[in-house]
Amino acid sequence: MNISGQRIIHPTTSVRGKYIGGQKPRGLKIPMSHDIALNETLNEAALEPENRDAIKNGGNLIIKEEHIHIKKRMGKSSYLIIFCVDASGSIGANGRMEVVKGIIFSILQSNYVYRDKVSLVVFRKDKAEIILPPTRSTDLAYKLLKEIPTGGTTPLVAGLIKAMDVALEENRKESGYIPLIILLTDARGNVYYKDAIDDVLKTGEQISKHNIGTIIIDVEDSNVKLEICKKLAKSANAAYYHIDNLNNEKLNEILTIEGVLEINK
């Protein structure tokens, strides 16, 4: 099962990774000096008979190529966080956009830990568009997110497809970033091609097929539920949350639970 949002700890060659030990280098290329695991290299060399004698007699160790170990490091993944937000004429659309903008700025301004990228896809009327292309730039975000129009119907499928395209493009570039879609919608007034539910579920299946991590935040009114988002979450293999009144605190809480934000950020 795809656990969306949980940061993956993995081996890394980046000097930012945590040094956890040494390992034999692959191939014959001698690594740069800062990559050599000194303790492990010296321990390996000390096992040689001639070096044992040198240690006893206060001589010098002879370091051969086969003794060299490089530093083994572990790092945490960086995300491309793709906010996919319903900007239709639903109640609270303007407030929803302000909450998302606040979270985007928060992520970018405190990005010294994971260096995540952020993107914003907005869907309304009959189309979806990329308001903010993938970036780590706070300045670009301020420039492009000043005014985001709202109103109209809800082209949910178009929004999902656009967000999926952004995710797949990032994978094609092999940038090392892990795409994560965060969908915020009530799914009401949904524009569809053939069938309102079937179109959405088939798109969700495509998201699952491509193994794209997804978090769905359903802001549908609890009094009259269609539960389209809940069905979508099942087909997309996504994490699902329902919030009646979205605000910064609640969205922060969800993203912290999902491992996207750190508590101490």
Q: Which string of DSSP letters, residue by residue, matches 110-164?
A: TTTTT--EEEEEEEETTEEEEEEEEE--HHHHHHHTS-----S-B-HHHHHHHHH
Q: Which residues pair with 180 in a beta bridge?
A: 81, 213
- pLDDT over 70 at 154, yes or no: yes
Q: In what order do the strands lie in the sheet with 70-76?
A: 9-12, 70-76, 18-23
- Residues 6 or more apart whose CB falls under 8 angstroms from that of 56 comprise none
Q: What is the pTM of this model?
A: 0.73
Residue-wise over 97-127: b if at least 16 C-beta within 10 A, else e? bebbbebbebbbeebeebebbbbbbbbbbee
- pLDDT over 60 at 29, yes or no: no
178 in Cβ contact with 8 (< 8 Å): yes
**Strand 213-218 and strand 178-185: pairing?**
parallel
Which residue reads 């290329």 in tokens?
29
Average pLDDT, the chain: 84
Nearest-angstrom CA–CA distance, 260 and 81: 9
232 in Cβ contact with 238 (< 8 Å): yes
Structure tokens at 208: 């699952």
Nearest-angstrom CA–CA distance, 200 and 191: 10
The boundaries of every CATH 3.40.50.410 domain in the chain are 78-257
Stretch 145-171: mean pLDDT, rounded? 92
Among the ranges given (26-40, 51-65, 146-160, 183-197), the one the predictor scored with the smallest mean pLDDT: 26-40
- Split at pLDDT 50, 70, 90, the class of 265 is very low
Can you give the length of the chain in residues? Answer: 265
Q: Does domain 78-257 have CATH number 3.90.1580.10?
A: no
- pLDDT over 70 at 194, yes or no: no
Nearest-angstrom CA–CA distance, 79 and 30: 32
Nearest-angstrom CA–CA distance, 167 and 173: 10
